[in-house]
């Protein structure tokens, strides 16, 4: 097979970093290959895709040197964060923009737009829908549809299903498998169960951006499993081994109703503009509970958290520890929030200052701040990046930073929107174990997630959202109920 993308002896250093991310890094991709790049969070997987596609340095200026680089003539790129690649404000216009650049006849566009949206499972009453009104998962589907419209020879896919529910993940990968027989795919993906039988080559990287192994997928997972485990990388069966090692059992619902509810809702509604987007008829949440919020993409899960934070207009009864929300001057005294997109909550120019920000606002002594911040940075493997700008982190590192900023002030109720997407296995388990420690200390945790294992082994209770309603309050994990609520 002929080489379609290649980089030889790459040296690259991000501004603000003390050392090279890549030193004499070489990788070639053959035409028609389906290549999976695996490695711990922050090792440079996404950067490799951007270099092989030419985005770095042609669009993103980063100091780098190579002996040789070959960029594909026809390629499409799917970013981790779909918002970063949209050019137009509306769904139909986004795909039409691609078609116009391909000189597609105007009269053919409507049918083609409908076709590409159908391929990724997006259906609207009419396709002129504002992109900023879509859920994260729906945006990710739209980004995939736009890339498919390019009909590229090479697809660079950077966690293409990170924000999708299980049904959406399966649908998207089935679509990609169908259309990619004659295409080259270079994939970065943590959710490997859906693609392990699809890829034919695995490139294994370590924390320092070095290639540890490169070869047939069966060879990599059989011969290098111990190295994969040591570096905290996802591999088939990792959850089973973790559960066995930790001795964790599936949760059942237990709460102490003698305590004052940490959160109480009745006839509670959240609005975007004048349109009602979420409705909770009646629910009480108690200290020490870990509620996972499930539902299909666009059901209203993130909107529920936005409503609880009063980021959008709300109506109805809403109490925190017995106090009506209207009597609470600062809701952030009781609640902290991890956004689905971590960049929405960054306000400073360094990782250290980001974690320290709220403590400084509260007038804490600098020595206390330094000790607390360094403790969290070490826990979430961010100490080496403490002087870096948050926007320069990988998506997994940004997620960990957002969790650290949310727990630093120790508010008793923690809201998290997909906190583990983009994480390697080791960091996923670190986050979950930290949250479990907080729950045991009496914190209330409300987490949006699509991860069945988190729901089964960590949550004490499940809220199912359907069509903007709290549809079910599930007291124990039930696989059939889980599947039903995520597939509708």
Domain shared by 63 and 204, yes or no: yes
With contact defined as beta carbons under 8 Å apart, do 167 and 88 qualify?
Answer: no
Domain shared by 229 and 307, yes or no: no
What's the pLDDT tens digit per position in 265-278? 999 999 998 999 99
What's the pLDDT tens digit per position in 3-60? 999 999 999 988 767 778 899 999 999 999 999 999 998 899 999 999 999 999 999 8
Would residue 267 count as lying in a domain? yes
Domain shared by 177 and 320, yes or no: no
Maximum C-alpha span of the chain: 69
Domain hosting residue 232, numbered range: 3-243
Q: Catalogue the long-range contacts made by 96-103 (C-beta closer than 8 Å, 24 or more residues apart).
A: 97/146, 98/146, 98/149, 98/150, 99/149, 102/149, 102/150, 102/151
Domain shared by 373 and 467, yes or no: yes
With contact defined as beta carbons under 8 Å apart, do 241 and 225 qualify?
Answer: no
Quote the pLDDT of residue 319. Answer: 97
Strands 75-78, 263-272: pairing kind: unpaired
Domain boundary among 243, 274, 296: 243
What's the pLDDT tens digit per position in 150-181? 999 999 999 988 877 888 888 888 888 888 88
- DSSP string spanning 196-252? TTT-SEEEEE-TTS-EEEEE-HHHHHHHSHHHHHHTT---TTHHHHHHHHHT-----
Would residue 136 count as lying in a domain? yes
Structure confidence at residue 248 as a pLDDT band (50, 70, 90): low
Least confident of 142-146, 187-191, 248-252, 418-422: 248-252
Q: What is the mean pLDDT of the chain?
A: 91
Domain shared by 276 and 228, yes or no: no
Cα gap 474→359, rounded to integer Å: 37
- Does residue 93 have a pLDDT over 60? yes
- All residues at 6 or more sequence positions from 326 whose CB lies less than 8 Å from its CB, including other chains: none
* Domain tally, the chain: 2
- Does residue 253 have a pLDDT over 60? no
Would residue 480 count as lying in a domain? no
Listed residue (298, 300, 281) closest to 468, CA to CA: 300
Would residue 195 count as lying in a domain? yes
What's the pLDDT tens digit per position in 356-413? 999 999 999 999 999 999 999 999 999 989 999 999 888 889 999 999 999 999 999 9
Would residue 254 count as lying in a domain? no
Domain shared by 138 and 231, yes or no: yes
What's the pLDDT tens digit per position in 428-477? 999 999 999 999 999 999 999 999 899 989 999 999 999 999 999 987 65
Domain shared by 281 and 218, yes or no: no
Domain shared by 153 and 39, yes or no: yes
Domain shared by 132 and 220, yes or no: yes
Would residue 463 count as lying in a domain? yes
Domain shared by 20 and 73, yes or no: yes
Domain boundary among 214, 243, 272: 243
Domain shared by 48 and 152, yes or no: yes
Would residue 249 count as lying in a domain? no
What's the pLDDT tens digit per position in 125-142? 999 999 999 988 899 899
Residue 182 CB-density burial (10 A; 0-12 exposed, 13-18 middle, 19+ buried): exposed
Domain shared by 336 and 427, yes or no: yes
Would residue 486 count as lying in a domain? no
- Does residue 90 have a pLDDT over 90? yes
Cα end-to-end span (Å), the chain = 43
Listed residue (352, 440, 330) closest to 404, CA to CA: 352
Which CATH number do you get for residue 39? 3.40.50.300
DSSP for residue 90: B
Cα gap 467→209, rounded to integer Å: 43
Based on its alpha-carbon atoms, the radius of gyration of the chain, rounded to whole angstroms, reads 23
The mean pLDDT value for 86-92 works out to 96
Q: What's the token pair of residue 156?
A: 């660079």
- Does residue 488 have a pLDDT over 50? no
Domain boundary among 186, 210, 243: 243
């Amino acid at each position: 097979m002929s080489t379609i993308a290649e980089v030889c002896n790459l040296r690259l250093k991000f501004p603000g970093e003390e050392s090279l991310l890549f030193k004499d890094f070489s990788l070639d991709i053959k035409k028609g290959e389906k290549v999976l790049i695996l490695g711990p969070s922050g090792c440079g997987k996404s950067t490799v895709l951007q270099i092989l596609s030419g985005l770095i340095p042609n669009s993103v200026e980063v100091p780098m040197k190579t002996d040789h680089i070959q960029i594909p003539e026809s390629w499409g790129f799917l970013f981790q964060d779909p918002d970063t690649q949209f050019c137009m404000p509306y769904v139909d216009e986004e795909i039409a923009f691609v078609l116009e650049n391909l000189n597609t006849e105007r009269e053919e566009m409507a049918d083609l737009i409908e076709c590409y949206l159908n391929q990724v499972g997006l259906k609207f009453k009419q396709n002129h829908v504002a992109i900023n009104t879509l859920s994260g998962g729906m945006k990710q589907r739209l980004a995939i549809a736009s890339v498919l419209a390019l009909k590229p020879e090479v697809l660079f896919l950077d966690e293409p299903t990170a924000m999708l529910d299980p049904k959406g993940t399966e649908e998207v990968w089935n679509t990609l498998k169908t259309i990619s027989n004659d295409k080259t795919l270079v994939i970065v993906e943590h959710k490997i169960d859906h693609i392990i039988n699809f890829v034919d080559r695995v490139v294994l990287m370590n924390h320092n951006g070095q290639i540890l192994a490169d070869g047939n997928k069966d060879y990599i997972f059989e011969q290098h499993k111990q190295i994969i485990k040591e570096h905290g990388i996802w591999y088939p069966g990792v959850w089973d081994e973790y559960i066995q090692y930790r001795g964790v059992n599936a949760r059942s619902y237990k709460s102490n109703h003698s305590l004052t509810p940490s959160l109480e809702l009745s006839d509670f509604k959240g609005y975007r503009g004048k349109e009602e987007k979420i409705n909770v008829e009646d629910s009480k949440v108690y200290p020490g509970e870990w509620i996972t919020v499930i539902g299909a993409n666009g059901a209203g899960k993130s909107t529920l958290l936005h409503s609880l934070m009063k980021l959008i207009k709300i109506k109805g009864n809403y109490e925190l520890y017995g106090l009506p929300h209207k009597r609470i001057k600062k809701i952030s005294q009781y609640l902290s929030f991890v956004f689905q997109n971590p960049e929405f909550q960054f306000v400073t120019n360094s990782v250290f200052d980001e974690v320290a920000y709220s403590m400084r606002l509260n007038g804490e002594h600098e020595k206390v701040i330094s000790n607390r911040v360094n403790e969290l940075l070490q826990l979430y493997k961010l100490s080496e990046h403490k002087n870096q700008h948050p926007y320069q982190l990988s998506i997994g590192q940004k997620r960990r930073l957002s969790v650290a900023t949310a727990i630093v002030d120790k508010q008793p109720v923690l809201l998290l929107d997909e906190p583990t997407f983009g994480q390697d296995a080791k960091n996923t388990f670190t986050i979950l174990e930290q949250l479990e420690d907080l729950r045991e200390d009496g914190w209330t945790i409300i987490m949006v997630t699509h991860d069945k294992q988190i729901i089964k082994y960590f949550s004490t209770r499940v809220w199912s959202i359907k069509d903007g309603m709290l549809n079910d309050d599930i007291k124990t994990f039930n696989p059939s109920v889980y599947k039903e609520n995520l597939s509708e």
